[in-house]
Amino acid sequence: MILMGDEIGRSQGGNNNSWCQNNLLGWMNWDPAQQDLELLEYFKYVIKIRKKLINIFNPSFFPNNQDLENFPRYHWHGTKLDSPDWSSWSHTVAFSINKGITNPIVWIGLNAYSKSIDFPLPKCEYNWLKVIDTSMSEIFSPLAVYEKSVSIKSRSSLLIISEEVWSKK
């Protein structure tokens, strides 16, 4: 959940219930000098990606006559393809969103472990493009991924999108 001010680092001192506080804790600070403008740029970038992929992340936006063959399907992975670890001690998971059954178009990997972990990527008809890597502090242009696997650094995540999807619009 994103609340007003999260996009500029407004933390309310960690208090998630400041509705009755008429003091600095609940006030919005509009001074750009005291805002996290780098975080704001990151939020804008994520919103741009979200809008670009609206039909994938929200299939309800598909026209009613859309055939189910191309309807997005989720496939769960782990450190092995099609083999997620759902155990309580697991710190990693990945999933792909496929167009149809066998055509992955989006891949997301999450690593909450204290060390880097390698994840295999499903075979994509087009090139994969790394769009977000939360271990990097700067926003970057999409990077082509030619390897069969990716390493996700400790406590970070990756968003990788098919070149076919990214180049649309």
3-state secondary structure of 49: helix
pLDDT category of residue 27 using cuts at 50, 70 and 90:
confident
Ordered structural domains, the chain, with CATH: 64-166 (2.60.40.1180)
pLDDT digits (tens, 9 = 90+) for 139-163: 899 999 999 999 999 999 999 999 9
3-state secondary structure of 39: helix
Is 161:53 a contact under the CB 8 Å cutoff? Answer: yes
CA 58 – CA 12 distance, rounded (Å): 31
pLDDT digits (tens, 9 = 90+) for 37-55: 888 899 899 999 998 888 7
